[in-house]
Structure 1
Amino acid sequence: MPYTDYRSLVTCAADGEVRHAQILERGVKTRVLVQHQGQAYKLAIEPGSSHIFYTCGEDGLVQHIDLRTAAAIELFICCPIDDSRVYTRVINLNAITIDPRNPNLFAVGGSDEYTRFYDLRNYKSDGSTDFGLPFDRFCPRHLI
Protein backbone atom coordinates (compact mmCIF):
# COMPACT_ATOMS: atom_id res chain seq x y z
CA MET A 1 0.00 0.00 0.00
CA PRO A 2 1.31 3.47 -0.76
CA TYR A 3 2.66 5.68 2.04
CA THR A 4 3.34 2.73 4.37
CA ASP A 5 7.10 2.36 3.79
CA TYR A 6 6.43 -1.02 2.14
CA ARG A 7 5.15 -2.40 5.45
CA SER A 8 1.53 -2.97 4.45
CA LEU A 9 0.62 -5.38 1.62
CA VAL A 10 -2.72 -6.48 0.20
CA THR A 11 -3.05 -9.54 -2.01
CA CYS A 12 -5.69 -11.60 -3.77
CA ALA A 13 -5.32 -15.12 -5.13
CA ALA A 14 -6.81 -18.19 -6.78
CA ASP A 15 -8.17 -19.42 -3.43
CA GLY A 16 -10.49 -16.39 -3.35
CA GLU A 17 -8.85 -14.86 -0.29
CA VAL A 18 -8.03 -11.17 -0.04
CA ARG A 19 -5.35 -10.76 2.61
CA HIS A 20 -3.64 -7.92 4.42
CA ALA A 21 -0.06 -8.42 5.59
CA GLN A 22 1.79 -6.09 7.91
CA ILE A 23 5.55 -6.30 8.16
CA LEU A 24 6.48 -5.76 11.80
CA GLU A 25 9.80 -5.63 13.62
CA ARG A 26 9.34 -9.25 14.78
CA GLY A 27 7.88 -10.79 11.66
CA VAL A 28 4.82 -10.66 9.46
CA LYS A 29 1.21 -10.54 10.62
CA THR A 30 -1.47 -11.55 8.08
CA ARG A 31 -5.24 -11.72 8.14
CA VAL A 32 -7.99 -12.60 5.69
CA LEU A 33 -10.17 -9.60 4.89
CA VAL A 34 -12.54 -11.10 2.32
CA GLN A 35 -13.34 -14.52 0.89
CA HIS A 36 -14.62 -14.58 -2.70
CA GLN A 37 -16.52 -17.59 -4.04
CA GLY A 38 -14.00 -18.64 -6.66
CA GLN A 39 -10.80 -16.92 -7.68
CA ALA A 40 -10.09 -13.30 -6.77
CA TYR A 41 -8.31 -11.98 -9.83
CA LYS A 42 -7.64 -8.35 -9.17
CA LEU A 43 -7.59 -5.52 -6.70
CA ALA A 44 -7.25 -1.78 -7.24
CA ILE A 45 -5.80 0.63 -4.70
CA GLU A 46 -7.44 4.04 -4.45
CA PRO A 47 -4.92 6.63 -5.68
CA GLY A 48 -3.43 8.64 -2.84
CA SER A 49 -4.81 6.37 -0.13
CA SER A 50 -2.95 3.98 2.13
CA HIS A 51 -6.17 2.41 3.41
CA ILE A 52 -8.79 1.96 0.67
CA PHE A 53 -8.95 -0.54 -2.17
CA TYR A 54 -11.45 -2.51 -4.26
CA THR A 55 -11.47 -6.16 -5.19
CA CYS A 56 -13.34 -8.31 -7.71
CA GLY A 57 -13.47 -11.99 -8.57
CA GLU A 58 -15.03 -14.91 -10.38
CA ASP A 59 -18.17 -14.59 -8.29
CA GLY A 60 -18.89 -11.21 -9.94
CA LEU A 61 -18.71 -9.49 -6.57
CA VAL A 62 -17.11 -6.04 -6.27
CA GLN A 63 -16.10 -5.02 -2.77
CA HIS A 64 -14.79 -1.82 -1.20
CA ILE A 65 -12.35 -2.39 1.67
CA ASP A 66 -11.02 0.13 4.20
CA LEU A 67 -8.07 -1.20 6.22
CA ARG A 68 -8.79 1.22 9.08
CA THR A 69 -12.02 -0.62 9.86
CA ALA A 70 -11.07 -4.00 8.32
CA ALA A 71 -14.61 -4.05 6.96
CA ALA A 72 -15.60 -4.93 3.42
CA ILE A 73 -18.61 -3.34 1.80
CA GLU A 74 -20.19 -5.54 -0.85
CA LEU A 75 -21.03 -2.99 -3.53
CA PHE A 76 -22.73 -5.22 -6.12
CA ILE A 77 -22.64 -8.44 -8.10
CA CYS A 78 -21.98 -7.80 -11.78
CA CYS A 79 -24.79 -9.15 -13.97
CA PRO A 80 -25.19 -9.37 -17.75
CA ILE A 81 -26.32 -6.21 -19.49
CA ASP A 82 -28.38 -8.16 -22.01
CA ASP A 83 -31.13 -10.11 -20.18
CA SER A 84 -31.49 -12.53 -23.10
CA ARG A 85 -28.36 -14.35 -21.89
CA VAL A 86 -30.08 -16.79 -19.60
CA TYR A 87 -27.06 -19.11 -19.50
CA THR A 88 -25.26 -16.92 -16.95
CA ARG A 89 -26.50 -14.85 -14.05
CA VAL A 90 -23.16 -13.31 -13.10
CA ILE A 91 -20.22 -11.94 -15.02
CA ASN A 92 -16.93 -13.44 -13.85
CA LEU A 93 -14.78 -10.38 -13.20
CA ASN A 94 -11.04 -10.37 -13.82
CA ALA A 95 -10.15 -6.66 -14.01
CA ILE A 96 -10.81 -3.55 -11.94
CA THR A 97 -9.24 -0.11 -12.06
CA ILE A 98 -9.82 3.27 -10.44
CA ASP A 99 -9.65 6.58 -12.27
CA PRO A 100 -6.46 8.26 -10.98
CA ARG A 101 -7.99 11.73 -11.48
CA ASN A 102 -11.25 10.94 -9.68
CA PRO A 103 -11.20 8.06 -7.14
CA ASN A 104 -15.02 7.95 -7.16
CA LEU A 105 -14.97 6.44 -10.65
CA PHE A 106 -13.96 2.86 -11.37
CA ALA A 107 -14.31 0.30 -14.13
CA VAL A 108 -14.61 -3.48 -14.18
CA GLY A 109 -14.19 -6.05 -16.92
CA GLY A 110 -14.82 -9.75 -17.14
CA SER A 111 -16.14 -12.70 -19.08
CA ASP A 112 -18.34 -10.74 -21.49
CA GLU A 113 -17.49 -8.07 -24.06
CA TYR A 114 -18.27 -5.00 -21.91
CA THR A 115 -16.24 -2.74 -19.69
CA ARG A 116 -18.58 -1.21 -17.14
CA PHE A 117 -18.08 2.18 -15.46
CA TYR A 118 -19.38 3.04 -11.98
CA ASP A 119 -19.50 6.12 -9.78
CA LEU A 120 -19.15 5.41 -6.06
CA ARG A 121 -21.09 8.59 -5.27
CA ASN A 122 -24.22 6.80 -6.55
CA TYR A 123 -23.88 4.03 -3.94
CA LYS A 124 -26.32 4.11 -1.04
CA SER A 125 -25.85 1.54 1.72
CA ASP A 126 -29.60 1.35 2.38
CA GLY A 127 -30.19 -0.15 -1.07
CA SER A 128 -32.32 2.77 -2.27
CA THR A 129 -30.46 2.85 -5.61
CA ASP A 130 -29.66 0.15 -8.10
CA PHE A 131 -25.90 0.68 -7.93
CA GLY A 132 -25.20 -2.58 -9.77
CA LEU A 133 -26.16 -0.91 -13.04
CA PRO A 134 -23.23 0.95 -14.60
CA PHE A 135 -23.55 4.61 -15.48
CA ASP A 136 -21.77 3.83 -18.75
CA ARG A 137 -20.30 0.88 -20.63
CA PHE A 138 -17.92 0.30 -23.49
CA CYS A 139 -17.59 -2.49 -26.01
CA PRO A 140 -15.08 -2.50 -28.87
CA ARG A 141 -16.90 -2.28 -32.19
CA HIS A 142 -15.57 -5.63 -33.43
CA LEU A 143 -17.09 -7.45 -30.41
CA ILE A 144 -20.65 -6.14 -30.83
Structure 2
Amino acid sequence: MSWEASAANSTYTKQQVLDVGDVPGHQLRIYELHRTFPSDKPNCEGLKRVEQWSRGLTDYTDGNGSLSGYTVTILENGDKIFGKVSGTSQTTTNSDGSKTSTFTGVVTYTGGTGKYQRVRGIQRDIIAFDLEKNFNQQRAEAEYWFEK
Protein backbone atom coordinates (compact mmCIF):
# COMPACT_ATOMS: atom_id res chain seq x y z
CA MET A 1 0.00 0.00 0.00
CA SER A 2 1.07 3.60 -0.47
CA TRP A 3 -0.65 6.89 0.33
CA GLU A 4 -0.36 10.56 1.12
CA ALA A 5 -2.18 12.19 4.03
CA SER A 6 -2.62 15.92 3.66
CA ALA A 7 -1.90 18.47 6.35
CA ALA A 8 -5.57 19.51 6.16
CA ASN A 9 -6.50 16.11 7.67
CA SER A 10 -3.79 16.06 10.37
CA THR A 11 -3.88 17.95 13.68
CA TYR A 12 -1.65 18.01 16.75
CA THR A 13 -4.28 17.72 19.49
CA LYS A 14 -1.86 17.82 22.44
CA GLN A 15 1.76 18.88 22.92
CA GLN A 16 3.85 19.42 26.02
CA VAL A 17 7.39 20.73 25.67
CA LEU A 18 10.12 20.71 28.32
CA ASP A 19 13.48 22.42 27.99
CA VAL A 20 16.24 19.99 28.99
CA GLY A 21 18.57 22.79 30.12
CA ASP A 22 21.90 21.39 28.94
CA VAL A 23 22.27 23.26 25.62
CA PRO A 24 20.07 25.90 23.98
CA GLY A 25 17.23 24.44 21.91
CA HIS A 26 17.31 20.94 23.50
CA GLN A 27 13.71 19.92 24.26
CA LEU A 28 11.68 16.86 25.10
CA ARG A 29 8.13 16.87 23.71
CA ILE A 30 5.21 14.55 24.15
CA TYR A 31 2.50 14.83 21.54
CA GLU A 32 -0.73 13.44 20.19
CA LEU A 33 -1.52 13.67 16.47
CA HIS A 34 -4.93 12.90 14.98
CA ARG A 35 -5.16 12.08 11.27
CA THR A 36 -8.30 11.35 9.20
CA PHE A 37 -8.59 9.64 5.82
CA PRO A 38 -11.68 11.10 4.06
CA SER A 39 -10.87 9.57 0.64
CA ASP A 40 -8.90 6.45 1.56
CA LYS A 41 -8.51 3.52 -0.84
CA PRO A 42 -9.66 0.10 0.40
CA ASN A 43 -6.92 -2.22 1.65
CA CYS A 44 -6.52 -5.90 0.67
CA GLU A 45 -9.45 -6.86 2.90
CA GLY A 46 -11.67 -4.19 1.30
CA LEU A 47 -11.62 -1.84 4.30
CA LYS A 48 -10.78 1.86 4.43
CA ARG A 49 -8.98 3.68 7.23
CA VAL A 50 -11.12 6.22 9.04
CA GLU A 51 -8.62 7.76 11.45
CA GLN A 52 -5.26 7.33 13.13
CA TRP A 53 -3.94 8.45 16.47
CA SER A 54 -0.20 8.84 16.98
CA ARG A 55 1.25 9.45 20.42
CA GLY A 56 4.92 9.82 21.11
CA LEU A 57 8.02 11.46 22.51
CA THR A 58 10.61 13.54 20.70
CA ASP A 59 14.12 14.41 21.86
CA TYR A 60 15.11 17.35 19.67
CA THR A 61 17.82 19.96 19.60
CA ASP A 62 16.67 22.75 17.29
CA GLY A 63 14.28 20.31 15.57
CA ASN A 64 16.87 17.57 15.06
CA GLY A 65 16.76 14.25 16.88
CA SER A 66 14.78 11.12 17.63
CA LEU A 67 11.10 10.25 17.85
CA SER A 68 9.49 7.17 19.34
CA GLY A 69 5.86 6.39 19.93
CA TYR A 70 2.78 4.40 19.04
CA THR A 71 -0.07 4.49 16.51
CA VAL A 72 -3.62 3.21 16.53
CA THR A 73 -5.28 3.07 13.10
CA ILE A 74 -9.06 2.65 13.08
CA LEU A 75 -10.75 1.02 10.08
CA GLU A 76 -14.32 1.64 8.91
CA ASN A 77 -15.61 -1.57 10.54
CA GLY A 78 -14.08 -0.58 13.91
CA ASP A 79 -11.07 -2.92 13.73
CA LYS A 80 -7.78 -1.40 14.85
CA ILE A 81 -4.15 -1.83 13.83
CA PHE A 82 -1.47 -1.07 16.43
CA GLY A 83 2.03 0.11 15.60
CA LYS A 84 5.30 1.18 17.19
CA VAL A 85 7.01 4.22 15.62
CA SER A 86 10.70 5.11 15.58
CA GLY A 87 12.70 7.50 13.50
CA THR A 88 14.68 10.69 13.12
CA SER A 89 13.77 14.29 12.37
CA GLN A 90 15.96 16.84 10.65
CA THR A 91 15.39 20.57 10.50
CA THR A 92 17.30 22.87 8.18
CA THR A 93 17.31 26.65 8.06
CA ASN A 94 16.73 28.05 4.60
CA SER A 95 18.49 31.14 3.19
CA ASP A 96 15.41 33.28 3.96
CA GLY A 97 15.48 32.19 7.63
CA SER A 98 12.50 29.85 7.36
CA LYS A 99 12.87 26.26 8.53
CA THR A 100 12.10 22.95 6.82
CA SER A 101 11.52 19.89 9.01
CA THR A 102 11.30 16.27 7.86
CA PHE A 103 10.69 13.08 9.82
CA THR A 104 11.88 9.78 8.35
CA GLY A 105 10.84 6.65 10.18
CA VAL A 106 9.27 3.25 10.44
CA VAL A 107 6.04 1.98 11.97
CA THR A 108 6.17 -1.69 12.93
CA TYR A 109 2.69 -3.24 13.00
CA THR A 110 2.39 -5.23 16.23
CA GLY A 111 -1.19 -6.50 16.18
CA GLY A 112 -4.72 -5.22 16.34
CA THR A 113 -8.32 -6.14 16.93
CA GLY A 114 -10.85 -8.17 14.94
CA LYS A 115 -9.42 -9.32 11.60
CA TYR A 116 -6.14 -7.59 12.46
CA GLN A 117 -5.42 -9.35 15.75
CA ARG A 118 -2.43 -11.16 14.18
CA VAL A 119 -1.33 -8.47 11.71
CA ARG A 120 2.38 -7.77 11.35
CA GLY A 121 4.07 -5.42 8.94
CA ILE A 122 6.21 -2.41 8.28
CA GLN A 123 5.34 1.10 7.19
CA ARG A 124 7.90 3.61 5.94
CA ASP A 125 7.08 7.30 6.53
CA ILE A 126 8.41 10.59 5.25
CA ILE A 127 6.63 13.47 6.96
CA ALA A 128 7.02 17.20 6.41
CA PHE A 129 6.07 19.07 9.58
CA ASP A 130 6.00 22.45 11.30
CA LEU A 131 5.11 22.25 14.99
CA GLU A 132 4.43 25.97 15.35
CA LYS A 133 1.97 25.97 12.42
CA ASN A 134 0.32 22.64 13.38
CA PHE A 135 1.38 21.29 9.98
CA ASN A 136 1.96 17.57 9.34
CA GLN A 137 1.89 16.00 5.87
CA GLN A 138 2.65 12.29 5.38
CA ARG A 139 3.88 10.16 2.48
CA ALA A 140 3.93 6.46 3.33
CA GLU A 141 4.20 2.96 1.97
CA ALA A 142 3.50 -0.24 3.85
CA GLU A 143 3.33 -3.99 3.56
CA TYR A 144 1.62 -6.32 6.01
CA TRP A 145 0.74 -9.96 6.57
CA PHE A 146 -1.09 -12.12 9.09
CA GLU A 147 0.77 -14.51 11.37
CA LYS A 148 -0.72 -17.98 11.72
TM-score range, shorter chain: 0.3 to 0.5
- With normalisation by structure 2, the TM-score equals 0.33
When you count strand as a share of all residues, which structure comes out higher? 2
**Larger relative CO (CA 8 A, sep 6+): 1 or 2?**
2
